[in-house]
Amino acid sequence: MNQFQLLGTRRFLPLFAVQFLGAFNDNVFRFALIIFITFRLAEKTGIDTRSLIVISGGIFILPFFLFSSLAGQIADKYEKSGIIRRVKFVEIIVMGLGAIGFSIESAEFLFVVLFLMGTQSTFFGPLKYGILPQHLAEKELTGGNGLIQMGTYAAILMGAIAGGMLAALEGFGPTPVVSCVVALAFAGWLCACAIPNAGASDTTIVINWNLPQATFRLLRYAAGNSEILTLVLTISWFWFLGATFLSMVPSYGKELLGADEQAVTMMNAAFTIGIGIGSILCERYSRGRIELGLVPIGCIGISVFAADIFFAGKPETTAVILTLKTMLTHPPALRAFADLTLIGAFGAMFIVPLYAALQARVQRAHCARVIAALNVTNALFMVFSAAFTVFLYRFQVTIPSIFGTVAILNLIAMLGAAAMLPEFAVRARSLLLRRNI
C-alpha cells in the first residue's frame, strides 16, 4: 500500500488529524510566545533573549521527565482511543488558560500554561505511538510513521508561521492568537472522537503512583534489551540535535542576520520543511521495509549541513532589517535557510526508521511504556541540550561555532550507536552498494 492511501482509512486518518491539529496548536502558542519573548519580554526584563528561549523550551519538556512513567502505564492499561479523547478535551481547557495569559500579557502565567501544554503532550505521546502498531501492519509502520512525522512538522511549519504572524499583528491585541488556539483545540477533540478502539495492551497493570520509582523501572526495562536501548538512545540523540538547532535559530536570525519577526519565523520553518520532505523520501527508499540503513546516511547529512553553517561564519548583515520579502534574496540568509532545510530532510531519514523499528521490535504489551521510557530519555537529552547551549553561550561561543561543535558530536554519537547495533552500518552499506540512495 502506498503510504498516502493510509490517509483514506479510518484506522489512521483520525489519529493523523489529531496529531496534526495538536502539533499545529502547540506551535501557534509556542511561536507566539517566542515572538513575545524575543521582541517584548526580553526588552522589559533585561534578560538575555537566548536564555529566555532556552528556559521556555525547558519548561515545556519538564513534564515529559516528571509524568512519562504514569502516562505509559495508563496507555498500556486502558483502551487507548478513549484516553486520547480525554487528553484532547484537557487541551481545550489548557488553551483557554493560554487565552487568558495572552490577554493579560503575563509572562509568568504563560509559562505555567506552557508547562500544562507539556503535560498534556506527555500523556498523548505513548498513546499516539502505542496505537500505531495496533492499527497498522508491520510493513505499513515506516509509511505511517513517515506520514506522522511529515504531518507533525508540516503542522509545526504552519504553526510557526501562524503563531509568529498572529503575534506580530498590530492593532488586534492577543485576539487572533487566543481565537486560533481555542478553536484548534476543539477541532482536535472532535477528530479524536473518530479514532477506532484500540484494546488495552495489559489490563493487569497496577498503576505505580510512586513516579520516581516507576520512572526508574521504565528505564531499567528499556535498558534490559541492548537493541531496544540503542534505538531509544539514538532517537533521544535526535531530540538533542533538534532542540539545540531550534533554540539557536531565532537568535541567529535576529542577531546575525538582522531579521524581523516574520523572517525569523520563516527561518524556524526551514527545519520543518526539510523534515516533511525527508519523511516522504523515507518510504521511497525503505520500499515497505523498516530500513535502519537510512539512519547513518541521515546522520552524515545532518553533520555536513550543520558544518556548512559553521564554515559560513558570521554572515554579512544588510543595512536595513531583513524582512520576509527580502530574506531569500540575501545570500547569507538563503544559504542558512537551505542548510536548515537539508538538516531537516536528513533528520527525517534519521528518525523515521528508528521510530518504526522501535514499535515493531518491542513487545506489544510493553509498547506504550517503552515509548514513555523514550519520552523520559528524550526529556533528559533536551535538558542536556539546554544546559549545553547555555554553557557555551556563557563562554561566548558563537552560534556558528555551536553548529560546528554539534556536527562533530553527531558523528561521534553515530559511531557509538553503530558499535552498539552493527545493523546500522551493515544496512547502510547494503543500501549504498545497491545504489538505492
**Which residues pair with residue 259 across a beta bridge?**
322
- Nearest Cα residue to 181 out of 21, 9, 405, 369: 21
- As a whole number, mean pLDDT of residues 309-324 equals 76
Tell me whether residue 92 is in a domain: yes
- Rounded CA-CA distance 364/357 in Å is 13
Would you give the distance in Å from CA 41 to the centre of its chain? 25
Query: Band of the pLDDT at 347, cuts 50, 70, 90?
Result: very high
- As a whole number, mean pLDDT of residues 322-343 equals 83
Residue position matching grid coordinates 508547562: 115
Q: Which three cell numbers stand for residue 78?
A: 486502558
Amino acid in the structure at residue 267: M
pLDDT tops 80 at residue 417 = yes
Q: Which three cell numbers stand for residue 21?
A: 491539529
**pTM attached to this predicted model:** 0.80
Tell me whether residue 48 is in a domain: yes
- Rounded CA-CA distance 262/301 in Å is 28
pLDDT tops 60 at residue 437 = no
Residue position matching grid coordinates 533528559: 380
Query: Band of the pLDDT at 254, cuts 50, 70, 90?
Result: confident
Q: What is the pLDDT of residue 341?
A: 92
Tell me whether residue 36 is in a domain: yes
Q: Which three cell numbers stand for residue 353?
A: 526508521
Burial class of 395 by CB neighbour count within 10 A (0 to 12, 13 to 18, 19+)? exposed
**Across 4-18, 112-126, 216-230, which has the greatest mean pLDDT?**
112-126
**C-beta of residue 146 within 8 angstroms of C-beta of residue 283:** yes
- As a whole number, mean pLDDT of residues 201-218 equals 83
Q: Is the Cα torsion angle 193, 197, 198, 201 positive or negative in sign?
A: positive
- Rounded CA-CA distance 180/98 in Å is 11
- Rounded CA-CA distance 318/322 in Å is 7
Length of the chain: 437
- As a whole number, mean pLDDT of residues 198-218 equals 82
Tell me whether residue 4 is in a domain: no
- As a whole number, mean pLDDT of residues 369-387 equals 86
- 294-312 helix and 331-361 helix, angle to the nearest 10 degrees: 160
Q: What is the pLDDT of residue 1?
A: 53
Query: Band of the pLDDT at 307, cuts 50, 70, 90?
Result: very high
Q: What is the pLDDT of residue 33?
A: 77
Q: What is the pLDDT of residue 47?
A: 58
Query: Band of the pLDDT at 41, cuts 50, 70, 90?
Result: low
The CB density around residue 60, as the number of other CB atoms within 10 Å, is 23
pLDDT tops 90 at residue 413 = yes
**C-beta of residue 366 within 8 angstroms of C-beta of residue 62:** no
Query: Band of the pLDDT at 51, cuts 50, 70, 90?
Result: low
Share of the chain above pLDDT 70, in %: 91
Residue position matching grid coordinates 532542540: 243
pLDDT tops 90 at residue 306 = yes
What domain range includes position 188?
10-196+208-433
Q: What is the pLDDT of residue 215?
A: 83
**What is the count of structural domains for the chain?**
1
* Strand, coil or helix: 259: strand
Q: What is the pLDDT of residue 116?
A: 92
Query: Band of the pLDDT at 202, cuts 50, 70, 90?
Result: confident
pLDDT tops 70 at residue 309 = yes
What mean pLDDT value characterizes the chain? 83
Give the CATH number of the domain where residue 152 resides: 1.20.1250.20
pLDDT tops 60 at residue 389 = yes
Tell me whether residue 202 is in a domain: no
pLDDT tops 70 at residue 372 = yes
Query: Does residue 239 or residue 150 have the better pLDDT?
Result: 239
**C-beta of residue 173 within 8 angstroms of C-beta of residue 32:** no
pLDDT tops 80 at residue 316 = no
Predicted confidence (pLDDT) per residue in 164-194, tens digit: 778 767 666 677 888 888 899 999 999 999 9
- As a whole number, mean pLDDT of residues 200-219 equals 83
**C-beta of residue 136 within 8 angstroms of C-beta of residue 144:** yes
Q: Which three cell numbers stand for residue 370?
A: 517503552
Query: Band of the pLDDT at 252, cuts 50, 70, 90?
Result: confident
Tell me whether residue 82 is in a domain: yes
**C-beta of residue 231 within 8 angstroms of C-beta of residue 358:** yes
Tell me whether residue 183 is in a domain: yes
Q: What is the pLDDT of residue 172?
A: 64
pLDDT tops 70 at residue 44 = no
- As a whole number, mean pLDDT of residues 81-90 equals 92
Tell me whether residue 1 is in a domain: no
- How does 21-45 read in b/e, with b if 16+ C-beta sit within 10 Å? bbbbbbbbbbbbbbbbbbbebbeee
Query: Band of the pLDDT at 54, cuts 50, 70, 90?
Result: low
